[in-house]
A and B are shown apart, each in its own frame.
Chain A
């Protein structure tokens, strides 16, 4: 009843191909933006912004990157964590060389380094498919992890082997480092993530995105119809790694503050794969939902015993957390293999006919 496109006529092609063609969607998006830009910075405390919102947004961006590769192009990748690492380390090197340049520009530039590495490790995809390809991306994961430890130049030869984020300013405000306000960091991350989501949605709707999806659905048929696998696959690897690289740079510069190689290990790669699958492969809104689900659920589980006044030790909670996540993943796959995005779509369909489903 409330969600119905009746009476919303489109008179030209441009109007019909808008990102949000339905009025209710537009209103919903504007409401979400108001919440994200006005209400959360005003009402949220530092804990909420730093532990929940910033990582959630960063992980969303990484998930979008992975989803471009897995969900839209059908190339299974287990190396997301390492590509994020490339972004983070190159951003660190860039800001060491150019301390005066606005850090946001450097964060975006570091994505290009990740894209380059992504193209190199994407080359096998021209010959290999499916799980075989997944194992070659593991090669990227382990090789890059090793490189982050063994090449001291990457972390400026400091003794700890970690990268420490220096204080950097942009637009006259402190953006990174210990002195930066959580709200400032949150707004920067939010803006970057939203703009990059918008760009991703347009790439996917365009010629390049369509060629990716053709490759995903059947690569031989796509090739016969004139899609060049070389360009389609490598561009998917490049764009995906670019997104992961930017996410990695933001991960360290706007959230962690300091990072070692453990921040980019294989468990993180799996985490993003979960987010992409639970959220829904081949869906951008699903990336937000998946990241929220996988990131926020454990926080709630950890906080729950305390809120209920139970005295459970931290290790037990951590174990239960693992079991819950594992169980949830299996449960969701059984109930809805196409993820939360599909559930959302079903809900919208139901809303459209509610309360008269048969009329």
Chain B
């Protein structure tokens, strides 16, 4: 009975008795969720347009952030460093298309997946070789990101909201809106959707696959840069970020691999769920639940909806 009480009743009693703390937890879950969504967005972009499950998205986040910080530390002014980093992400996209993807057209999915893991290893080695392995502080203030925090006092308690978190959320919203407009309203966006739908049909109406891939990887690189700046500002820029990036996988599962709204909602579900579970139920299992909670949620989710929340239903024929 004690266990049942601890699982079913006690957490809610705690939530009710300290609503300000509950709000704080919700807010931190919301911010974490936004950042998960951003990483997942990078995955979805590439998966939609090339069918490649890009395992290297996590390291691209780290790589972009490191380039930015590394350039700044080398004496380049912040705005120029930002532009140069965007240039570097374009170069990366171009090289990936040129060296890897172009040679692997029409291979099985798992081969392409492995190639991105190879890319992942290469970028880890390259990034550490160029920038060193030690964590670096993100140049948040120099980029004009707000610092400091505002304190609210609802229900007679206190809730602290960091301005940086607000900036992260705003940035995520802008990015997603921009991408949605880009995908739906522009010529290139329509070409991207055509490629995502059917490679051969897209080729036959004169869309260049190679060009599209560069664009998509570049877009994913920009998303990675934005994610890297926000994550880096919250904690330092280090290679440990790539483990966090793996969390985007359950987010994708819940949202479905091909859906942009799915990535966002999935990210929020994981962000909220993880924080609430860790704080109110985690104590029952010993701490550190955050590490696997997202995956188990995804697993349970899949048992009921194998194609994710917004994924296209897979119809199989013989």
Chain A residues with a Cβ under 8 A of chain B:
70, 76, 124, 127-132, 135-136, 138-139, 142-143, 145-146, 149-150, 218, 220-221, 224, 266, 270, 273-274, 277, 281, 315-316, 318-330, 333-334, 337
Contact = CB atoms under 8 A, between A and B. Distances in A.
Nearest to A265: B243
B129 A330 contact: no
Contacts of A322: 121-122, 124-126, 128
A139 B119 contact: no
A224 B252 contact: no
A128 B306 contact: yes
A277 B118 CA distance: 11
B114 A149 contact: no
B103 A334 contact: yes
Q: Main SS of chain A's interface residues?
A: helix
7 contacts: A139-B298, A146-B292, A221-B318, A224-B318, A319-B129, A326-B118, A330-B115
A321 B307 CA distance: 38
A139 B292 contact: yes
Interface stretch (B79-87, B175-183, B281-289): B281-289
A124 B121 contact: no
A319 B125 contact: yes
A144 to B, nearest CB: 9
Main DSSP-derived SS at the B contact region: helix
B295 interface: yes
A136 B109 contact: no
Contacts of A326: 118-125
Contacts, number: 137
A131 B109 contact: yes
B4 interface: no
Contacts of B291: 142, 145-146
A135 B111 contact: no
B7 to A, nearest CB: 17
A268 B9 CA distance: 40
A329 B118 contact: yes
A318 B126 CA distance: 11
A79 to B, nearest CB: 10
| Chain B interface size range | 35 or more
Nearest to B308: A132
Contact of B129 (A136, A138, A320): A320
Nearest to A325: B121
Contacts of A142: 291-292, 295
Contacts of A135: 249-250, 252-253, 295, 298-299
Interface string B234-262: 00000000000010011011000100000
Contacts of A130: 109
Contacts of B119: 326, 330
Contacts of A320: 125, 129
B122 A136 contact: no
Contact of A323 (B109, B110, B125): B125
Q: Which 7 A-B pairs have the closest CB atoms?
A: A322-B125, A326-B122, A329-B118, A326-B121, A139-B295, A323-B125, A142-B292
Nearest to A330: B118
A315 B249 contact: no
Contacts of A318: 125, 128
Given A132-B302, A326-B120, 20 more contacts: A124-B303, A131-B109, A135-B299, A143-B292, A143-B295, A149-B288, A274-B117, A315-B133, A316-B129, A318-B128, A319-B129, A320-B125, A320-B129, A322-B128, A326-B118, A326-B125, A329-B117, A329-B118, A330-B115, A333-B114
B151 to A, nearest CB: 35
Contact of A330 (B99, B124, B289): B99
Contacts of B318: 218, 220-221, 224
A146 B289 contact: yes
Given A274-B117, A327-B118, A132 B295 contact: no
A63 to B, nearest CB: 14
B170 interface: no
Contacts of A327: 118, 122
Given A224-B318, A326-B125, A143 B296 contact: yes
Contacts of B122: 322-323, 326-327, 330
A277 B110 CA distance: 9
Nearest to A150: B286
B114 A329 contact: yes
Given A124-B302, A329-B117, A330-B119, A321 B125 contact: yes
A322 B111 CA distance: 19
